[in-house]
Structure 1
Amino acid sequence: MATVELRFSAQPEHVRTARLVAAAVARRAGVDEAVLDEVRLAVGEACSRAVGLHRSYGITAPVRVVLSEEEKTFSIEVVDEIPTAGAEGSEGAHGARGVADEDMDSEGEDGMGLAVISGLVDDVEVSSTEEGGVIRMSWPTTPVTVLP
């Protein structure tokens, strides 16, 4: 299992770099070429959301993006450092983190970003803890043939 971790300060100009890195690593992991634009867009939305949250709450910690290649899956986790009040799935600074339709409709811009992500990615999980939130997205891969 190969993993790449990217950390960047919560500045909008760094989101483009995260998108480019995600697409390059996804291509190398064997994600279908036709899906790479969706990977780029979903990562851009998730990173923009994390950057916006960090800036809104004055968090100076970096946004973290973890790209993992597993046997038949490529996954990306975008992690913010916005703590919630209480345990997993509770409402805090973000409001509810679920991706149910009613949550997306009621959360304004935050919900809109989650709606876009869930429209682009079939396998997406949104969770939160006292340390922050995670958007985990994954795509199927096909084995990459390396020519000599």
Structure 2
Amino acid sequence: MATVELRFSAQPEHVRTARLVAAAVARRAGVEEAVLDEVRLAVGEACSRAVGLHRGNGLTAPVRVVLTDEEKVFSIEVGDEVPGPAGGPAGAVPGRDAALDQDGEDEMGLAVISGLVDDVEVTRGDSGGTIRMRWPLHGAAEAD
């Protein structure tokens, strides 16, 4: 299992770099070329959401992106450090969600990610939130 971890300050201009790194690592891991655009878009949405949460809550902690190449699956976790109620709604964030829910920005971002990624999990707890996305590696379906 190979893992790449990327941390960047919560600045919108760094989201593009995270997208490029994710696409490069996904390609090297064996994700099909036809799926790479989906990887880029999903990572961009997840990172933009994390940046918005950090900035909206006045956090200076970096956004965390972990890319993992396992035997049959490639996964990406995008994490923020905005605490929320464990077991509460995955998108619920104190101080930030009230504004986001008014214009649907947060829900729209999560909907876009869910539309791009078949295997996605959104969690929130005391130490922050994580969006975990998984894609099968090229040839993994045939091997089963």
Say whether residues 1:32 and 2:29 are aligned partners.
Answer: no
Structure 1 stretches of 5 or more lacking a match? 96-104, 144-148
Which residue of structure 1 aligns with residue 88 of structure 2?
89
Give 1:130's aligned amino acid.
D
Counterparts of 1:68 and 1:107, CA distance in 2: 34
Q: What per-residue deviation string (whole Å, max 9, x for no partner) do you get for residues 26-67 of structure 1?
A: 000000000000000000000000001100110100000000
Which residue of structure 2 aligns with residue 101 of structure 1?
none
Which residue of structure 1 aligns with residue 142 of structure 2?
none
Shift of 1:92: 3.9
The residue correspondences of 1:128-143 to structure 2 (distance < 5 A) are 128-142=124-138
User: Percent identical across equivalent pairs?
Assistant: 77
Segments of 4+ moved more than 6 angstroms? none
Say whether residues 1:115 and 2:108 are aligned partners.
Answer: no
Shift of 1:107: 7.3
Counterparts of 2:132 and 2:102, CA distance in 1: 21
CA RMSD in angstroms, aligned pairs only: 1.8
Counterparts of 1:65 and 1:122, CA distance in 2: 19
Say whether residues 1:127 and 2:123 are aligned partners.
Answer: yes
Shift of 1:21: 0.2
Q: What per-residue deviation string (whole Å, max 9, x for no partner) do you get for residues 78-104 of structure 1?
A: 0001001x3233544265xxxxxxxxx
CA distance 1:72–1:106, change in 2 (3 Å): farther
Give 2:62's aligned amino acid.
P
Q: What per-residue deviation string (whole Å, max 9, x for no partner) do you get for residues 102-139 of structure 1?
A: xxx88710000000000000000000110000000000
| Paired residue secondary structure (1:6) | strand
State TM-score, norm by structure 2: 0.87
Which residue of structure 1 aligns with residue 14 of structure 2?
14
Aligned partners of 1:88 and 1:130 also within 8 Å: no
Give 2:22's aligned amino acid.
A
Give 1:110's aligned amino acid.
D
Structure 2 stretches of 5 or more lacking a match? 140-144
Bigger helix fraction: 2
